[in-house]
């Protein structure tokens, strides 16, 4: 059996903890690459993406761009009728761009 990387172990640990306390709420999943940051609100019960936002259409890969994605995902969630979510940071540490996205989503009206 191959050993998992630190990132993959962290991702599994986070996802397992989320499943235990999600309580049927959709999850706000964040993915960060070198150039972009992506956010999706996923309903795991139905296996559907309810809302999505990313930096693909804009320039910028910094904290300000991540904060804009947070605002966009909060707006998209409101349109989809979602108010409470669980935050899935994946294997990424809660700091920098991931933290900026989360804070902006909270300011935009999402509860988590």
Q: What is the 3-state secondary structure (H, E, C) of 44-98?
A: CCCCEEEEEEECCCCCCCCHHHHHHHHHHHHHHHHHHCCCECEEECCCCCCCCHH
Q: Give the chain's domains with CATH numbers.
A: 6-107 (3.30.420.100)
User: What is the DSSP-derived secondary structure letter of residue 37?
Assistant: E
- Cα 7 to Cα 52, 62, 107: the distances in Å are 23, 21, 28
Over the stretch 59-94, which tens digit does the pLDDT of each residue have?
878 999 999 999 999 999 999 999 999 999 999 999
Q: 2-43: per-residue pLDDT in tens?
A: 899 999 999 999 999 999 998 889 999 999 999 999 999 999
CA-based end-to-end distance of the chain:
36
Apex 17 CA angle, 4 and 30, nearest 5? 75
Residue matched to tokens 């909060």: 74
This model's pTM is above 0.75: yes
């Amino acid at each position: 059996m191959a050993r998992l990387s630190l990132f993959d172990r962290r991702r599994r640990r986070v996802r397992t903890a989320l499943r235990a306390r999600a309580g049927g709420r959709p999850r706000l999943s964040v993915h960060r690459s070198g150039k972009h940051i992506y956010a999706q609100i996923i309903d795991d019960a139905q296996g559907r993406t309810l809302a999505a936002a990313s930096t693909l259409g804009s320039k910028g890969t910094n904290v300000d761009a991540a904060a804009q994605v947070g605002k966009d995902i909060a707006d998209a969630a409101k349109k989809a009728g979602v108010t409470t979510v669980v935050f899935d940071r994946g294997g990424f540490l809660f700091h920098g761009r991931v933290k900026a996205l989360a804070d902006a989503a909270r300011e935009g009206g999402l509860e988590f």
